[in-house]
Structure formats: structure tokens, C-alpha cells
Amino acid sequence: MATEKLKVIMLPRRDEMLRRLISAFDESHAIRNFYPLLLEHAGQEITGTGIVLMLTLAAADYTRTMPSVVTQALYTRMSAFVNALVDDDEVRNEALQGLRAANIA
């Protein structure tokens, strides 16, 4: 059985990644506490599936002690984060499909 090779992209550099995240969700607590978790991956190679994992693991760390309403509010932004960070249509679609499959988008 042949496996399909997933397309890899490079995430934006740190300053550009932060700018894009803020354009998707300009909220001070997220900027100070959530975005640094994502910025650890700036400039790295990643697949669409990797983007889903990056976002969901960072969100889990960020919202660990927060009320569920905050968690839900952040998860409603996941598609916006993907759209802000990924320029490649194929990888963006793969990530958005992954979010839908996980009932996040």
C-alpha cells in the first residue's frame, strides 16, 4: 500500500508569524500567553497535519486552567489562525480538513 507524501511548507519567521496571528485575533492575553507557544515553531517546516497538531497542543497548554468558555472561544479562531499562517492552498486545505475532522472547525 502506497502512502501519500504530505506537502511541507515553511512557517513564517517569528516577527511575521506574530503579525499574522495578531491579524487573526488581536487579544492581549492571547498575544502575551498563547502566541509565544506558537512562535516556538516560527521558521520551521510543517505539514497541514502538523499545523493542526501545533495549534491544538498549544491551545491545550494555554487553556489548561481556564474556563471551558475561554477554550471554546479560542477553538472558534483555529480556522482564522490557519488562514493567517498558511499561504499554500494545498496545505491550508489539509489543515482545515484536519480541524473539521477533529470537530474544531
DSSP 3-59: PPPPP-EEPPPHHHHHHHHHHH---HHIIIIIHHHHHTTTT-EE-HHHHHHHHHHHH
- The average confidence (pLDDT) of the chain is 94
User: pTM score, two decimals?
Assistant: 0.91
Distance between CA atoms of 43 and 34, rounded to whole angstroms? 17
Q: How far apart are CA 19 and CA 94, in angstroms?
A: 23
* Residue 78: pLDDT over 70: yes
Whether the predicted pLDDT of 52 surpasses 80 = yes
Which pLDDT score, from 0 to 100, does residue 3 have?
59
